[in-house]
């Protein structure tokens, strides 16, 4: 059964009555801009090492609405934060994440590559991040390459349930992935937690694809090269939200503001919220 209600006249009427529907994108400047969630990609990854406490603390200081984290699993079953499926790029070690024990991963330096002042930053665990940040900032959880880690969906669900985070949380926990089958499974395991699908594939933006995603997803999150006004409208018509990535310039952020997306996922939170 569809997760989303089929759109009815009520939603159409509410869209027509929405103040935002009555102003053009050109008018949405300065203080009148649509409210957009500011998502700090891998932490404030432009300024601090990605997927580390240093980066997430900075994102909180910069008043991000969410931190985005990449989740994988160690050889001995610990859920850890790292983007690549090997540790080579972002640590002083080598090898596949899933071939290393948590003790081995924990001993790596995940900060120095970004600058000496970050030397010694460790790879954090998922549980550590939930306990440190839940309630302070939203957490956009990406299951990275879940096909490499059989059963990771059940494990993530269990960790969230232990903390009562499987209930509606004003969308302060969202789970997303490029792996659509994994997200279908996640939606069944945690039906009240918002689910996102990630894609950089233009073929996933067709009406048929979007309708299929709307059966289990609450967010459609494409890279910004695929975003058009029409796509944003289609996603909204299917009662999903749209978040786009990865913003690394002011121009890209401004483009997404103009497109009226719901979330901007950026390495530089200050491009989205100029208070910083
Ligand atoms: O949240 C969107 C973004 O993280 C997807 O790409 O490769 O940075 O994980 P990637
Ligand atoms: Ca990610």
Cα 141 to Cα 172: distance, rounded to the nearest angstrom: 10
Q: The domain spanning residue 48 has which CATH number? A: 3.20.20.190
Domain that holds residue 43: 2-84+124-272
In a domain, 157, yes or no: yes
Asked if residue 260 belongs to a domain, the reply is yes
| Residue 93 counted as domain residue | no
Domain count, the chain: 1
* 234 located within any domain: yes
Give, as residue ranges, everything with CB less than 5 Å from ion ligand 2.
70, 142
Is there an atom of ligand 1 within 6 Å of 218 CB?
no
Q: Is 244 in the pocket of ligand 1 (CB under 6 A)?
A: no
> What is the Å distance from ligand 2's center to 141 Cα?
8
pLDDT in tens, the chain (276 residues): 445 543 333 333 333 333 333 343 344 444 567 899 999 999 999 999 999 999 999 999 999 999 999 999 999 999 999 999 999 999 999 999 999 999 999 999 999 999 999 999 999 999 999 999 999 999 999 999 999 999 999 999 999 999 999 987 776 999 999 999 999 999 999 999 999 999 999 999 999 999 999 999 999 999 999 999 999 999 999 999 999 999 999 999 999 999 999 999 999 999 998 775
Nearest CA to ligand 1 atom 10: 83
Q: Tell me how far apart the alpha carbons of residues 184 and 28 are, in angstroms, rounded to a whole number.
A: 35
Residue 7 lies in a domain: yes
Distance CA 11, CA 144 (A): 34
pTM value surpassing 0.85: yes
Domain-located, residue 111: no
Ligand 1 lined by 70 (C-beta under 6 Å): yes
Whether 41 maps to a domain, the answer reads yes
C-alpha atoms less than 13 angstroms from C-alpha of 70 in its C-beta half-sphere: 20
User: Cα(265) to centroid of ligand 2, in Å?
Assistant: 9
- Let me know if residue 94 belongs to a domain: no
């Amino acid at each position: 059964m569809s997760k989303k209600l089929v759109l009815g006249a009520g939603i159409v009427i509410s869209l027509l009555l929405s103040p935002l529907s009555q102003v053009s994108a050109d008018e949405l400047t300065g203080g009148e801009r649509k409210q957009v969630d500011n998502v700090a990609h891998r932490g404030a990854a432009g300024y601090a090492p990605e997927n580390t406490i240093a980066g997430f603390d900075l994102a909180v200081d910069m008043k991000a609405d969410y931190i985005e984290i990449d989740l994988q699993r160690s050889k001995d079953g610990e859920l850890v934060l790292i983007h690549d499926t090997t540790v080579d790029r972002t640590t002083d070690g080598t090898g596949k994440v899933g071939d290393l024990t948590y003790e081995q991963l924990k001993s790596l330096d995940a900060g120095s590559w970004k600058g000496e002042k970050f030397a010694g930053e460790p790879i954090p665990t998922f549980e550590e991040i939930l306990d440190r940040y839940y309630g302070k900032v939203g957490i956009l959880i990406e299951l990275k390459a879940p096909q490499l880690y059989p059963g990771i969906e059940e494990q993530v669900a269990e960790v969230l349930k232990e903390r009562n985070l499987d209930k509606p949380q004003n969308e302060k926990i969202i789970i997303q992935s490029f792996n659509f089958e994994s997200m279908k499974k996640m939606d069944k395991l945690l039906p009240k937690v918002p689910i996102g699908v990630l894609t950089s594939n233009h073929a996933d933006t067709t009406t048929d694809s979007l309708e299929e995603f709307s059966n289990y997803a609450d967010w459609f999150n494409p890279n910004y090269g695929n975003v058009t006004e029409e796509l944003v409208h289609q996603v909204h018509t299917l009662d999903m939200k749209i978040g786009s990535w990865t913003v690394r310039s002011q121009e890209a952020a401004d483009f997404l503001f103009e497109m009226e997306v719901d979330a901007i996922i950026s390495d530089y939170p200050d491009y989205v919220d100029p208070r910083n």
